[in-house]
Copies of this chain bind each other. A is one copy, B any other.
Amino acid sequence: MITTIEKQTGTAFRLKKGQWLKVTDPKGEQVSDMVLFNALDKAEKLSSGKTLDFEETLLITKGHHLWSNRSNKMMRIVEDTNGRNDFLLAPCSPETFQIMYQNSDYHPSCFENLHTNLAPFEILPDDIPTAFNIFMNVQFAANGKLSVEPPMSKAGDYMLFEAMMDLIVGLTACSAEMSNNYSFKPVQYEILERSPAS
């Protein structure tokens, strides 16, 4: 069953060890922020620092794993039809829009959409780690300078993940203007009992 995450919203759900998660960009140029928690012990969660360390690259894609703060594999990346994702930048939050966009009005954000949807799992706002930002296109220059560019994903691009432990997953259709080429679109996901290819 394909579920749609409407633009500038989010969701959270359980994913059992061995199940597969397919995350699709149905219209193109849309980012989805994903966070992961061990369903059996929520103090274990996704870690950018551990993932970049163990995979020895800034660019996490097919063949890599997403690692936890306790150095365990949380997901294996089975497929990535686009190939450009970000694991550097924190989910956009109300302060992102105040500090980086000089917008002090209310603005939807991945941070709010993650913590409100994860609240029923007793996960607090302060528990939200740096997300794995599917299809987010953050370019880095040789001098370290970071720039957020339009996603390179086309309509129908997807990533496929295998759960390596029982997980709670938080997932959004990202709300930040610059990250999505100034047009907000939905994200779709599907939970599969096994790889579609097998």
Contact = CB atoms under 8 A, between A and B. Distances in A.
Contacts of A144: 57-59
A176 to B, nearest CB: 10
B142 A142 contact: yes
Interface residues of A, number: 38
A1 interface: no
Interface stretch (A11-19, A85-93, A183-191): A85-93
A57 B145 contact: yes
A182 interface: no
A65 to B, nearest CB: 11
Interface in A46-73: 47-50, 52-54, 56-59, 69-71
A56 B91 CA distance: 14
A37 to B, nearest CB: 11
A100 B54 contact: yes
15 contacts: A43-B124, A47-B90, A49-B129, A49-B130, A53-B88, A56-B147, A57-B144, A58-B88, A58-B140, A58-B145, A70-B95, A71-B95, A71-B96, A88-B88, A140-B140
